[in-house]
Amino acid sequence: MMIAPRFTRRQFVLATGAGALLPARAEASPFREITWDDLIPPGVPYAEIIGEGEMDEQNDTWNPIYDQNATKLNTELDGVAVKLPGYIIPLDTGVTGVTTFVLVPYVGACIHVPPPPPNQLVFVTTEAPWPSDSLWDAIWVYGRLSARPRSTEIAEIGYHLVAENIEIYEW
């Protein structure tokens, strides 16, 4: 016959109190946090996605010429729910805010400087408009990423993302 161990009230309180101090199991986010480097296919160095360029004298702008590495996409991310930081270049703006935009890795990309390579641009659509007065803020965009090239009046874009959530990027 086996005798169960007996605990005093003090031992019981101390044991349960110690359990309360242990960190709760963190819930895993359904979104994988990625960086802009993750959009470049594995094995392709960033230095190899930007080719030569040429000056458009008439419009006083620099037109980059990207090599084939600039259009290569990381297909391992196709269909993955991601969280990506960046800046907004608005395409469709309504009364309530921006519903279609290009997510870019740095402020001013595509506006004052030549656009980044296609594998460094994300075309974003959202049903919940982003306020027009917050266009210069760094943001997080959450959604399912598609490795699907698209051509716009601003640039050639390598990825598409339907935003489920957009929030200010906290430093």
Residues 68-85 pLDDT 10s: 889 999 999 999 999 999
Strands 32-33 and 81-93: parallel
Q: What CATH number has the domain bearing residue 69?
A: 2.40.50.870
Q: Flag whether 105 is in a domain.
A: yes
Q: What is the pLDDT of residues 102-132, one digit of tens each?
A: 999 998 787 666 788 999 999 999 999 999 8
Q: Flag whether 3 is in a domain.
A: no
Per DSSP, what are the bridge partners of residue 144?
81, 162
Query: Are the C-beta atoms of 124 and 100 separated by less than 8 Å?
Result: yes
Q: Flag whether 63 is in a domain.
A: yes
Domain with 131, as residue range(s), is 28-168
pLDDT band at 15 (very low <50, low <70, confident <90, very high): very low
How far is it, in rounded angstroms, from Cα 20 to Cα 41?
A: 44
Query: Are the C-beta atoms of 149 and 96 separated by less than 8 Å?
Result: no
Q: Region of 11 please: left (phi>0), alpha (psi -120 to 50) or beta.
A: alpha
How many domains is the chain partitioned into structurally?
A: 1
Give, in order, the Cα–Cα distances in Å from 97 to each of 30, 47, 53, 145.
Answer: 26, 36, 35, 22
What is the mean pLDDT of the segment spanning 3-32? 54
Give, in order, the Cα–Cα distances in Å from 6 to each of 2, 9, 66, 111, 171.
Answer: 12, 10, 74, 73, 52
Q: Flag whether 16 is in a domain.
A: no
Q: Flag whether 70 is in a domain.
A: yes
Looking at residue 51, its pLDDT comes to 65
